[in-house]
Amino acid sequence: MNKKKDATTRLFDLLQFGEFGGVNPSITDSSTYTFLNPDDMTETFLGHTQGCFLYSRHWNPSNKYLADALAAIENTESAWVTASGMAAITCAILQICNSGDHLITSVTTYGGTYAFLKNYLRKFNIEVSFVDITNHQSVEEEVRANTKLIYTESVTNPLLQVSDIPALSLIARKHGVRLLVDNTFSPLIISPANLGADYVVYSLTKFINGKNDCVAGAICGDQKFIDDLTSVNSGTAMLLGPVLDPLRSSGILKNMHTLHLRLKQHSKNAMYLAERLKELNLKVIYPGLPEHPQHRLMKRIMNPEFGFGGMMALVVDSVMTANRLMREMQQKQVGYLAVSLGYFKTLFSCSGKSTSSEIPEDIQRKMGLYEGLVRFSVGLDNDIENTFNRIKRCLKELKII
């Protein structure tokens, strides 16, 4: 653990040599591993042998390289990579909470996470309180004797609320509960573990990989937590088995080394679009705008060189207008009408009818998710002024401005 070095320096300092001296580590092509001594195999099953690989669902060299790189970025002792972001979230939660426990979550989370917390955890008799995560009093009021966990996204999907991780961490510590943060929207920008989160989860599918060519996730935390997750007897990750394919982890590892450059460009472009769209008197949600409710908080907790991130929302009057706008923008080559984020091209979707559709409409309205909210994942466009002009033409043609 090294708080003095920043995330990119910790990653830069991590030299991972290939098996035969290649600059990229060799890709694991084995599901099982040989032992010269049967006793070592026994010890490995008992979790005692360091450095031995047993079976690829447990650990494999490619996944270990990627996990080490993520732990370096997050400044955690260890990490484990998963076959999806949802696998990371569900395994981490099920490792922390047992039947009869309770957790507190932000009501604004990715729709899949919301559905897991609302509909699926019931099977395990785990109670969930949904709160406005920016209201710390309401978070603390929900803490009960059986509360084990506070869960939030550092920048929430899709409303882009910013979680005050240091304040939530103080509440968690005071009551002896754990703080788990999904940092999918703000890798490098926010360092949750440095700010007091116990565990950090990711959908690597998004900015970290940046290519939209695979689905993957990660759980970062202390060594004991990762050992517990991968225990052959009781580890959620080991027993539910959502292992990432080594070919994919080697690709993601290579993409991680350009993450800092990509994020700066995503942020620069998103800031440009947010400011220019705001000048047209449109309702824009972006943490980089001074009127964003958590703008000052974000400035306090962010690593400023990476900007305010690539996610932005534009609110129009209805789903119908949103749909017409998105169709037009795709036709004018602004980007793709598609879910997901962190891609080199701009992606846009109407959150209430797509990635947040798992959240009932009355709750969407209550939490401030307008039906005409179009979420943008702003791409790496070299000429963002040109992109803005295309969007403006769409807005004019549809008489939105």
153: alpha, beta or left? (left if phi > 0; alpha if psi -120 to 50): beta
In one-letter notation, the amino acid at residue 278 is K
Choices 7-15, 130-138, 180-188, 229-237; region in contact with ligand PLP by CB under 6 A: 180-188
Of all residues in the shown chain, the one whose CB is closest to ligand PLP is 85
Structure tokens at 140: 């603390």
Q: Which is nearer to ligand PLP, 205 or 230 (CB)?
A: 205
From 154, 132, 156, 157, select the one nearest 142 (Cα to Cα): 132
- Residue 20's φ and ψ, nearest 5 degrees, are -115, 30
217 sits near ligand PLP (criterion: CB under 6 A)? yes
- Sheet strands side by side (includes 199-203): 78-82, 217-221, 199-203, 178-182, 147-153, 102-106, 127-131
Selected from 108, 154, 265, 355, the binder of ligand PLP by CB under 6 A is 355
Map the footprint of ligand PLP across residues 81-140, applying CB under 6 A: 84-86, 110, 112
Selected from 95, 191, 203, 212, the binder of ligand PLP by CB under 6 A is 203
63 sits near ligand PLP (criterion: CB under 6 A)? no
Q: At closest approach, how far in Å is the CB of 361 from ligand PLP?
A: 20
205 sits near ligand PLP (criterion: CB under 6 A)? yes
Q: Which is nearer to ligand PLP, 116 or 306 (CB)?
A: 116
User: Can you spell out the DSSP letters for 22-57?
Assistant: -SSPPPP--SB---SSHHHHHHHHTT--TT---BTT
Choices 80-88, 91-99, 298-306, 357-365; region in contact with ligand PLP by CB under 6 A: 80-88
Q: Which is nearer to ligand PLP, 341 or 400 (CB)?
A: 341
Q: At closest approach, how far in Å is the CB of 200 from ligand PLP?
A: 12
Contacts of 41 (CB under 8 A, 6+ apart): 35, 54
Q: Which is nearer to ligand PLP, 121 or 143 (CB)?
A: 121
Q: Which is nearer to ligand PLP, 267 or 355 (CB)?
A: 355
Write down the number of H helices and E strands in the chain: 15, 12
User: Can you spell out the DSSP letters for 207-267?
Assistant: TTT-SSS---EEEEE-HHHHHHHT-TTT-HHHHH--BPPHHHHHHHHHHHTTHHHHHHHHH
Q: Which residues of 345-364 are buried (b: 16+ CB within 10 A; e: fewer)?
A: ebbbbbbbeebbebbeeeeb
Q: Tell me the three state secondary structure of residue 383.
A: coil
Q: At closest approach, how far in Å is the CB of 145 from ligand PLP?
A: 29
Map the footprint of ligand PLP across residues 137-166, applying CB under 6 A: 153, 157
Q: At closest approach, how far in Å is the CB of 341 from ligand PLP?
A: 7
249 sits near ligand PLP (criterion: CB under 6 A)? no
Residues in contact with ligand PLP by the rule CB under 6 A = 84-86, 110, 112, 153, 157, 182, 184-185, 203, 205, 215, 217, 355
